[in-house]
Structure 1
Amino acid sequence: MPAEPTSCDPSLSGIEAVSGAVLAMSRHLEVREVLRRITAEARTLLGAEYAALGVPDDHGGFAQFVVDGVTDEQWKAIGPLPRQHGVLAAMLHRLTPTRLDDVRRAPDFEGWPDAHPDMSDFLGMPIVDGTEILGAVFLANKAGGFTAHDEELLRILAAHAAIALGNARLYERSRELTLAGERARIAHDLHDAVSQKLFSLRLTAKAAATLVDRDPARARAELAEVARLAAEAADELRAVVIELRPAALDEDGLVATLASQAQVLDRAHTAEVRFSSDGVRTLPPGQEAAVLRVAQEALHNALRHSGAKLVEVTLTGTADRGARLRVHDDGRGFDPETVRREGRHLGLVSMRDRAAAVGGTLSLESAPGQGTAIELEVPGA
């Protein structure tokens, strides 16, 4: 059976090759990886020997600069990143492409570093969002030189690259905001839970000290309370450390990571925490991260606010190769409508956002005196 054609198959037409390159770029979310894919796909698409992509900063240099066709050893030998000067500077300040038979004869050419490979024919294309130049992709050394058709193909690729790069930046910004929100929540927990426990512990210890001589029996009772408050404060601190500890999803997988966290939380809290799983297949990284974070948020709510004696976490596979997470506690429960009206979200907004980001759905069941259940379902690959 013949192999399925790829973007580097010379038998493909230009539009099919561009389509393959666009699909390859769109599979990635991290900005650095998107830049690397754009550069590699541009070089493959046009058959160039070298390719580079630069994203300018505001200080005459490059915030990011990636290359393709140059080995790591060659790149290290070349030295520091280039500055925005000569041909590169011109490319970053106009919206039109640059196609040269020999870049070395360009009026603004300023030479290469000693270890830089020699380049002749050159094609540069800005990556533009509206009137903003996000960066520029540069290609060099194609057998027979670059043509007007090459320029048009690269123009199409650059237009899609702007979308892919914009999406990647939005994704990273969203991730930064999520992390900032989680840090704020943890700081709030430390203040509300641990700080109050430590304040009570300090007052109780002072009371015990004043009672030692005149009422030893009451002093012993106060010291017992000191021990209890210290144990609770230690539990709260351990729980915060667990949430700050990076999860080993890449190394251990979702099931093992959830099982490990449940075990640690079971030891750190008076409530019993159980975990079970059945028929779970490996999920895409984004889905696994969403499931883990929702589980952590639901566990946080159950262990800190519900007064539960038992929290059960179950993870099961679904028919579409996805997964269903359920976190159920036997705590005091609440009226979801009342919580919504009073603006106390209990992390539900962030959990729903995580579910929606990976095409999943999140549901909540709770009532006063009947515990709470959070259920998340995510699709497979």
Structure 2
Amino acid sequence: MGCEEESGCDPSLAGIEAVSAAVLAMSRHLEVREVLRRITASARELLGAQYAALGVPDDHGGFAQFVVDGVSDEQWRAIGPLPRQHGVLATMLHELTPTRLTDVRTAAAFGGWPQAHPEMTDFLGMPIVDDGEIVGALFLANKDGGFTDHDEELLRILVAHAALALANARLYERSRELTLAGERSRIAHDLHDAVSQKLFSLRLTAKAAATLVDRDPARARAELAEVAKLAAEAADELRAVVIELRPAALEEDGLVATLASQVQVLDRAHSATVTFTADGVRALPAAQESALLRVAQEALHNALRHAGAGAVTVRLTGTDRRGARLRIADDGRGFDPESVRRAGRHLGLVSMRDRAEGVGGRLTLDSAPGAGTVVEMEVPGA
């Protein structure tokens, strides 16, 4: 919504509204790469520039990440390797002040660009500073009429918020790494507790059967039947763990198909009946789909491994706000959430809540001893 000349609205108010819209767009994302893309696109749209780029430096004279907006994928591939920290780009990464040029090609530091690089003239660059350290630089080029003092001030405000958004995204990714480490630890614990114990029992039972073959064939046959049963249970446990470890095919198949496939395998692998239904689900941002899948996996793990459930239902539905709601309900033994919290046993609840909050969603849990458990998670969508 712009500020038309005929309407008589205050141009400065329009600028504030535009910055606000850009900040909100940035804050909706938590993955570093997506935050960088959103910052770059928001800056180009805010100032009406033809091109925008954002570079995050590495420690070796290059860029750890470099994103562009206004350049097609074909053009970007033709340009070639990522730029080095030289010329005007290097200046932006070592000075805390912005750089505004009427023609970047006439700058003393200009060192040329690759043959396929688009032609650029007027230029505005702004360092992204976090706690006194330059963590990146935002570049804009080619605006009708050139960049103004007002543009520079708007970009300064945007970049301040961009630094916070980038810092939050990095903290989120670090938190996710720690969560994954915790999940690996839990899976290792499950392997030891479930599979290792069954294999140990299988070994003892097989030895017992071997000693009974000659003197008591009937008992030996019974022991061998137990061996077969234990082997099947161990195989089921291993299969379930492999499902959790296997990378989800979200990018190829989408959330609905991926969840349906995993539920189908779990239904075959466990004695409990596990069902899945979906209705009216639209495509969601990748981070939200990943969070929904991981929460579903955690809730299913609790229901099938700890709750002694005989039936588990998984339902995914679209919401009126273009988001989605996930519901996992089981008829297991249930528990008192407050008692579990006081005892320091989390059953993955902290991880599930962190995942939901990390993508702007919310998670609720309803359980009581003997009454089963219901886990619900809702995400806002795009």
CA distance in structure 2 between the partners assigned to 1:79 and 1:260 by the alignment:
40
Give the TM-score, by structure 2 length.
0.82
Give the TM-score, by structure 1 length.
0.82
Residue 95 of structure 1 deviates from its aligned partner by: 1.0
> Residue 373 of structure 2 aligns with which residue?
373
Equivalence map 1:222-371=2 (5 Å): 222-247=223-248, 258-275=259-276, 282=282, 285=285, 289-313=290-314, 323=325, 325-331=327-333, 333-334=334-335, 336=337, 338-357=339-358, 358-367=360-369, 370-371=370-371
* 1:146 counterpart SS class: coil
Does the 8 Å CA contact 2:314/2:326 hold for their aligned counterparts? no
Residue 229 of structure 1 deviates from its aligned partner by: 0.8
CA distance in structure 2 between the partners assigned to 1:76 and 1:317 by the alignment:
37
Identical pairs, percent? 75
CA distance in structure 1 between the partners assigned to 2:337 and 2:21 by the alignment:
47
Which letter does structure 1 place at the counterpart of 2:156?
Answer: R
Does the 8 Å CA contact 1:294/1:354 hold for their aligned counterparts? yes
Which letter does structure 2 place at the counterpart of 1:366?
Answer: A
CA distance in structure 2 between the partners assigned to 1:51 and 1:276 by the alignment:
43
Residue 142 of structure 1 deviates from its aligned partner by: 3.3
> RMSD over aligned Cα, in angstroms?
3.3
Does the 8 Å CA contact 2:356/2:379 hold for their aligned counterparts? no
CA distance in structure 2 between the partners assigned to 1:160 and 1:185 by the alignment:
37
Does the 8 Å CA contact 1:124/1:136 hold for their aligned counterparts? yes
Distance change >3 Å, CA 288–CA 220, structure 1 → 2: same
Q: Deviations over 1:100-152 (max 9, x none)?
A: 23333333333323333343332210011231212101123334433322222
Does the 8 Å CA contact 2:309/2:330 hold for their aligned counterparts? no
Alignment coverage as a number of residue pairs: 371
Distance change >3 Å, CA 105–CA 344, structure 1 → 2: same
Which letter does structure 1 place at the counterpart of 2:52?
Answer: A
> Residue 108 of structure 1 aligns with which residue?
109
Distance change >3 Å, CA 305–CA 38, structure 1 → 2: closer
Which letter does structure 2 place at the counterpart of 1:375?
Answer: V
* 1:155 counterpart SS class: helix
Does the 8 Å CA contact 2:361/2:380 hold for their aligned counterparts? no
Residue 270 of structure 1 deviates from its aligned partner by: 1.6
* 2:163 counterpart SS class: helix
Residue 300 of structure 1 deviates from its aligned partner by: 1.3
> Residue 212 of structure 2 aligns with which residue?
211
CA distance in structure 2 between the partners assigned to 1:243 and 1:260 by the alignment:
12
Distance change >3 Å, CA 82–CA 255, structure 1 → 2: closer
Does the 8 Å CA contact 1:312/1:329 hold for their aligned counterparts? no
Corresponding position: 1:191 with 2:192 = yes
* 2:180 counterpart SS class: helix
Distance change >3 Å, CA 38–CA 254, structure 1 → 2: closer
CA distance in structure 1 between the partners assigned to 2:238 and 2:220 by the alignment:
27
> Residue 200 of structure 1 aligns with which residue?
201
Distance change >3 Å, CA 342–CA 161, structure 1 → 2: closer
Residue 294 of structure 1 deviates from its aligned partner by: 3.3
Which letter does structure 1 place at the counterpart of 2:75?
Answer: Q
Does the 8 Å CA contact 1:295/1:327 hold for their aligned counterparts? no
Moved more, 189-198 or 25-34: 25-34
Q: Deviations over 1:204-249 (max 9, x none)?
A: 2233334333443332222112101100011111212232345566
CA distance in structure 2 between the partners assigned to 1:232 and 1:6 by the alignment:
68
Residue 61 of structure 1 deviates from its aligned partner by: 0.8
Unaligned stretches of 5+ in structure 2? none
Residue 289 of structure 1 deviates from its aligned partner by: 5.0
Does the 8 Å CA contact 1:31/1:169 hold for their aligned counterparts? yes
Which letter does structure 1 place at the counterpart of 2:373?
Answer: A
> Residue 143 of structure 2 aligns with which residue?
142
Residue 176 of structure 1 deviates from its aligned partner by: 2.7
Residue 251 of structure 1 deviates from its aligned partner by: 7.0
Q: Deviations over 1:134-191 (max 9, x none)?
A: 2101123334433322222221221222222223223333333333322222222122
